A and B are shown apart, each in its own frame.
Chain A
Amino acid sequence: MTATTKSLRRWGAVHKWTSLICTLFMLLLCITGLPLIFHDEIDDLLHSSVKPAEMPAGTPPANLDHLLANALAQAPGKVPHFLIWDRDEPGAIWVSVGPTIDADPVNNLLIRMDTHSGAYLDSPDVTGRFTYIMLKLHTDMFAGLPGKLFLGLMGILFCVAIVSGIVVYAPSMRKLRFGAYRAQRTRVVRWLDVHNLAGILLVAWTLVVGFTGVINTWADLVLKMWQFGQLAEMTAQYKDRPVPSKLTSLNGAVEVARHTVPGMTPSFVAFPGTLFSSKSHYAVFLHGDTPLTSRLLKPALIDAETGTLTDSRDMPWYVSTLYISQPLHFGDYGGMPLKIVWALLDILTIFILVTGVYLWMRRRKAGVSQERAIANAGAIDKPAFTA
Chain B
Amino acid sequence: MVAHRSLTQIFVAPLVIAIVSTVGLISALVGDGWWDAVSWAALGLPVLLYLVFIWRRRPN
Contacts and interface: CB of A to CB of B under 8 A. Distances in A.
Are A and B bound to each other?
yes
A194 interface: yes
Contact of A334 (B4, B39, B50, B57): B39
5 contacts: A170-B7, A197-B53, A201-B17, A204-B18, A291-B28
A202 interface: yes
A169 interface: yes
A338 B50 contact: no
Interface string B22-59: 10010011111001100110011011011011101111
Interface of B: 1-5, 7, 10-11, 13-14, 17-19, 21-22, 25, 28-32, 35-36, 39-40, 43-44, 46-47, 49-50, 52-54, 56-59
A232 interface: no
Nearest to B46: A201
Interface in A300-336: 324, 327-328, 333-335
Contact of B28 (A166, A197, A333, A345): A333
Contacts of A241: none
A175 B31 contact: no
A290 B28 CA distance: 10
B43 A341 contact: yes
Contacts, number: 108
A174 B43 contact: no
Contacts of B29: 291-292, 324, 327-328, 333
A40 to B, nearest CB: 17
B1 A205 contact: no
B50 A348 contact: yes
Nearest to B15: A203
A174 B18 contact: no
A181 B43 contact: no
Give the dominant DSSP class at A's interface: helix
A184 interface: yes
Contacts of A247: none
Given A170-B10, A184-B59, A205-B43, A291 B49 contact: no
Given A175-B2, A176-B1, A197-B53, 16 more contacts: A170-B7, A173-B10, A175-B3, A175-B5, A176-B2, A176-B5, A181-B54, A183-B59, A197-B54, A200-B17, A205-B25, A205-B43, A208-B25, A333-B28, A337-B36, A344-B44
Contact of B46 (A173, A182, A345): A345
Nearest 4 pairs between A and B by C-beta?
Answer: A334-B28, A204-B21, A201-B46, A179-B53
Contacts of B7: 170
Contacts of B59: 183-184
Contact of B43 (A166, A335, A345): A345
Interface of A: 166, 169-170, 173-184, 194, 197-198, 200-205, 208, 290-292, 324, 327-328, 333-335, 337-338, 341-342, 344-345, 348
A334 B36 contact: yes
A201 B50 CA distance: 8
A385 B2 CA distance: 21
A202 B29 CA distance: 19
A338 B14 contact: no
Given A178-B14, A333-B28, A204 B22 contact: yes
Contact of A335 (B3, B14, B17, B36): B36
Contacts of A204: 17-19, 21-22, 25
Given A181-B53, A290-B31, A338 B5 contact: no
Nearest to B27: A334
A290 to B, nearest CB: 7
A68 B44 CA distance: 45
Given A174-B5, A203-B14, A348 B25 contact: no
Most A CB contacts (10 A, CB to CB) among B1, B10, B32 go to B10
Contact of A174 (B4, B22, B53): B4
